[in-house]
Amino acid sequence: MTKRQETEKTGADEADIYSTPRPKAYILHRTNGTGRSHPVPDGEGDDIDRKPPCFVCYIPAPVYHLAAILEQNKFCEAFGRIGSKNFNYQKRRELLLFGVAANVLSFLLSLFACLSISLKFNHIVAGGFSKGFAYIPSVDLPTSRIWIGLRGVAIRNFQGQAVINDGYVEGDQVIEFDSFCDYVDEGLPTYMDPDDCDSCAEASSGLITAVIMATVLTLPNIFTDILRMYPNYDLNCQKFFGSILNLASAISSLYAYRGYADLCFKKFYAEGQVSEVPVSDGLIESIQTIIPGFSYEGESMLEVMFKWRPGNGLICIFVATILKGIDIIIMLMIPTPDIAHKRSLQESYEVLYGGDEDSAGDEDIAAKAIASANAEKEAADYSSRELGPDE
């Protein structure tokens, strides 16, 4: 392979392309809605009118002013080349549409999981991270339903539960994590070790932040997927930040899941673990109203056990994380256009489209003619690479 072929294959110029200022007209046009593909793919015309549906999907202006840091450097260009070049406009669009759908669904699921932050009973029931019920195994009698959120616990006590725990009333109530320790002498030992009464409260703020971040960081990924559907607006930095933000959102989701499990949920009595409540005449009478003829002649303490299941909020976080992973793969599969990492294309674009054509002099016209010829050659080379075998 000759040096010329080698440089063409890597997209680099024979000279050190990083020693002189880089042409940036193609970046500017991607920020103001006048971007176009260069070279034009074989069989297609000028696509200056093919642009994202909303200006918020355009390249942010700081990318143009800080191009050397955010776009035109070895790392960004190497990252932009990652992926398969076997994606024409239609395949690229279809794949990224799937990414948009994945991110929109991920956002909605994460938003639903935010219900777990509420202290309203129905919201915790709908979006809680865990749900379960306490029951008396000796008579197979449920005493209460439990839903655990990120700021409190929703409890639905059945008949007789108020007799077991004087601090809890029959019916529905929400107990904030900050108030758990106030219930140590009023029935909290039925649900967890009193020594752990402040564990959920200590973890709560960090978990709330993680859930909100996982939700908010999904929004820019939606816009990035839409932008990357249009090759004449795609850049290395968009591929990089789209991947990084998706990864950060997924990490936030995983932190919320793992942090909740380790720092809060595991402090409640586990499934199969036994809690005890004192037996009293009132408790026996309450059970007899549900199970006629019930009698108890055992120990002075009655066993209570638990069964737990993942709550809707936790399921949503798990599915949303998988969807984010899918979009990361899509981001990496699709490389940026050649102009994003080939200086020869950037220079010819600069000459062809970077100046005011109406005020061009003879030298500019000649330069444009030369650049046009070079662009046609680049387009022919581009088409032959697309249609021919891999180099």
Segment 329-387, tens digit of pLDDT: 999 999 999 999 999 999 999 998 886 443 344 444 444 444 555 555 555 555 555 44
Could you tell me which residues come within 8 angstroms of residue 216 by beta carbon, excluding any fewer than 6 positions away? none
Angle, vertex CA 251, rays to CA 246 and CA 257, nearest 5: 130
Q: pLDDT of 200-229, one tens digit each?
A: 999 999 999 999 999 999 999 999 999 999
Asked if 215 contacts 207 with a C-beta cutoff of 8 angstroms, the reply is no
Instruction: Please name which of 241, 199, 205, 249 lies closest in space to residue 223, comparing C-alpha atoms.
Output: 241
| 143 shares its domain with 200 | yes
Nearest Cα residue to 130 out of 143, 117, 147, 116: 147
89-94: average pLDDT: 88
DSSP 18: T
> Is the torsion defined by CA of 56, 319, 101, 336 positive or negative?
positive
Same domain for 198 and 55: no
Predicted pLDDT at 236: 94
Q: How far apart are the first and last CA of the chain?
A: 10
Cis ω for the linkage preceding 337 (within 30 of 0): no
pLDDT at residue 21 greater than cutoff 80: no
Q: Which of 334, 352, 354, 363 is nearest to 40 (CA)?
A: 352
> Is there a single domain that holds both residue 231 and residue 136?
no
Closest CA to 116 of 146, 152, 144: 152
Tell me the C-alpha distance between 214 and 40, whole Å: 38
pLDDT at residue 159, as a whole number: 58
- Asked if residue 80 lies in contact with residue 331, where contact means CB atoms within 8 angstroms, the answer is no
Total domains, the chain? 2
Query: What type of residue sits at position 238?
Result: Q
The pLDDT value recorded for residue 272 is: 79
Question: Two tokens at 370?
Answer: 């030369």
Range scoring the smallest mean pLDDT among 37-46, 188-197, 309-318? 37-46
Examine the domain organization and report whether 130 and 24 are in the same domain. no
One domain for residues 65 and 208: no
The gap from C-alpha 77 to its chain's centroid, in whole angstroms, comes to 24
Cα 99 from Cα 105, distance rounded (Å): 10
* Residue 87 sits in the same domain as residue 144: no
Instruction: Return the pLDDT at 210.
Output: 93
CA 298 to chain centre: 54
The residue out of 324, 347, 363 marking a domain boundary is 324
Q: Looking at the structure, do residues 52 and 93 belong to the same domain, yes or no?
A: yes
Range of lowest pLDDT (106-110, 142-146, 211-215, 231-235): 142-146
Mean pLDDT, residues 115-119 taken together: 94
Which of 181-190, 293-302, 348-357 has the lowest average pLDDT?
293-302
Bin 81: left if φ > 0, else alpha if -120 < ψ < 50, else beta: alpha
Can you give the pLDDT at residue 345?
A: 92
CB 99 within 8 A of CB 108: no
Sequence-separated contacts (24+) of 92-95 with Cβ below 8 Å: 92/228, 92/229, 92/231, 92/334, 93/229, 95/330, 95/333, 95/334
User: Which residue would you say has higher pLDDT here, 117 or 172?
Assistant: 117
Judge if 173 and 292 occupy the same domain.
yes
Assess contact for 113 and 316: CB atoms under 8 A. yes
Residues 28 and 93 grouped into a single domain = yes
Among 2-16, 57-71, 275-289, where is mean pLDDT lowest? 2-16
pLDDT at residue 3, as a whole number: 42
Task: Tokens 């809690």: give the residue.
Answer: 275
Task: Give the end of a domain, one of 324, 344, 361.
Answer: 324
Question: What was the pLDDT predicted at 135?
Answer: 82
**Does 41 score more than 90 pLDDT?**
no
Q: How many Å separate Cα 26 from the centre of its chain?
A: 30
Residue 98 shares a structural domain with residue 119: no
Which residue has better confidence, 46 or 210?
210
76: domain range? 3-109+218-251+331-387
pLDDT at 287: 67
**pLDDT exceeds 60 at position 186:** yes
Residue 237 and residue 165 in one domain: no
On whether the CB atoms of residues 304 and 136 are closer than 8 A, the answer is yes
Report residue 112's pLDDT band, with 50, 70 and 90 as the boundaries: very high
Cβ pair 216, 239 in contact under 8 A: no
Per-chain mean pLDDT for the chain: 80
User: Per-residue pLDDT for 302 more than 80?
Assistant: no
Which one of 292, 324, 356 terminates a domain? Answer: 324
Contact by Cβ (8 Å): 152, 119 = yes
- Please report the pLDDT score of residue 286 as a whole number: 63
* 184 and 195 inside one domain: yes
- Report how far residue 243's alpha carbon sits from residue 80's, in angstroms, rounded to the nearest whole number: 11
Residue 203 vs residue 46, higher pLDDT: 203
CA pair distance 112, 312, nearest whole angstrom:
9
